[in-house]
Amino acid sequence: MKTLLRSLLLALAGVSTVAAEEIGFGILGTDASSALKQNWNPFLEDMSKGTGLEIKGFFATDYAGLVEAMRFSKIQLAWLGAKAAIESVDRADGEVFAQFIDQAGRTGYTSVIITHRDSRLKTIEDMFAQAKELSFGMGDPQSTSGTLVPLCELFAPRGLDVRQAFRITRSSSHGGNLLAVVNKQVDVATNYSVGLEKFQISNPESHAQVRVLWTSKPIPSDPIVWRRDLPDATKKKIRDFVFSYGKDEREKAILSRLQQISGFRPSDNRQLIPVRLTSVTLEKFKVKADPDLSPTDRAARLEALDRRQAELEAAAR
């Protein structure tokens, strides 16, 4: 009996060791699945070799899938947009540790509204003036550039509900919306500057068919998030690899295919504060416009949001 118990304990210990060395890396499918895996697999393979960990790509079609996967420990690392990273930090024990740097050395990008070059729409005001006749492509609900920023900077200040402002509104990924505009399947759509830059390189003729109607204020570049409960030794292996990657020409080419990036820099949860503030601003617009709130309830909610804004601004200093 003792021998059997000892064997079971050793077997369980072996399973635990294997599981601890296997790291799931969550990646959003903004492009076609086959192209995405082709671009990311060399990086993941290098990461496995460089860390001694078994890095497995987890390719999801939406941010919610990545956040839930991290919440239930199906993945331990993820490339996320800022809004989804906030969800990960708040609900899935996530923690920001790195941020993308683009090939121009920038740590920010922009949200854009695009239409086809043949469109009669020349400005963003043209879009609003003709909205009831137009089809509109919104981003993933958890997308910073595809949803949150356009809602906060464009629609909420005008008191518009994007679901009611247009003849038809649909949601898709950045890649889906970009192709829908190029193929004239939607009149207007949200997108992001990095995606347009990649598209210009990979498909210049189709890129020439795109017109940008509006560009947002700068948004912090995407973070990489890990689970806070990863062992310190594992975190060190990952950190050492990530911040040393991209030094030779081969590695630079691999990074370029990912998101037109040149490398990573250390970061933390404070990176998310500007986007948290954007969410607070959007919520204020919603509270002010809600016809079902009594004056007392509206004042109380706005006061709470003002306190939250002050806390975030203090944390950013």
Burial of 107 (0-12, 13-18, 19+ CB in 10 A): middle
| pLDDT number for residue 33 | 64
Q: Does domain 108-219 have CATH number 3.40.190.10?
A: yes
Q: How does pLDDT run across 252-301, given as a tens digit for each residue?
A: 999 998 878 999 999 999 999 999 999 999 999 999 999 999 999 999 99
d(CA 317, CA 315): 6
pLDDT band (50, 70, 90) for residue 211: very high
Angle in degrees, CA 213, 219, 222, rounded to 5: 120
The torsion region of residue 93 among left (phi > 0), alpha (psi -120 to 50) and beta comes to: left
The average pLDDT across 107-127 equals 97
Q: Does residue 6 surpass a pLDDT of 80?
A: no
The residue written with tokens 């560009």 in the block is: 215
Do 179 and 171 touch, CB atoms closer than 8 A?
Answer: no
Q: What is the rounded CA–CA span in Å between residue 317 and residue 79?
A: 26
> Could you tell me the pTM of the whole model?
0.84
User: In the CATH scheme, what is the code of domain 274-316?
Assistant: 1.20.58
Domain with CATH 1.20.58 in the chain: 274-316
The pairing of strands 135-138 and 168-171 is parallel
What is the percentage of the chain residues whose pLDDT exceeds 90? 84
Instruction: Note the pLDDT of residue 31.
Output: 57
User: What DSSP character marks residue 132?
Assistant: G
pLDDT of residue 296: 97
Task: Compute the distance between CA of residue 120 and CA of residue 314 in angstroms, rounded to an integer.
Answer: 45
What confidence score (pLDDT) does residue 9 get? 42
Q: At 40, is the pLDDT very low, low, confident or very high (cuts 50, 70, 90)? A: very high
Write down the CATH number for the domain with range 2-107+221-267: 3.40.190.10
Residue at 210: amino acid letter = V
Q: Are 189 and 181 in contact (CB under 8 A)?
A: yes
Tell me, letter by letter, the H, E, C secondary structure of 56-83. EEEEECCHHHHHHHHHCCCCCEEECCHH
- Structural Rg of the chain based on CA atoms: 22
The whole-angstrom separation of Cα 69 and Cα 92 is 9
Phi first, then psi, for residue 303 (nearest 5°) are: -65, -40
Which residue spans of the chain are classified as CATH 3.40.190.10? Answer: 2-107+221-267, 108-219
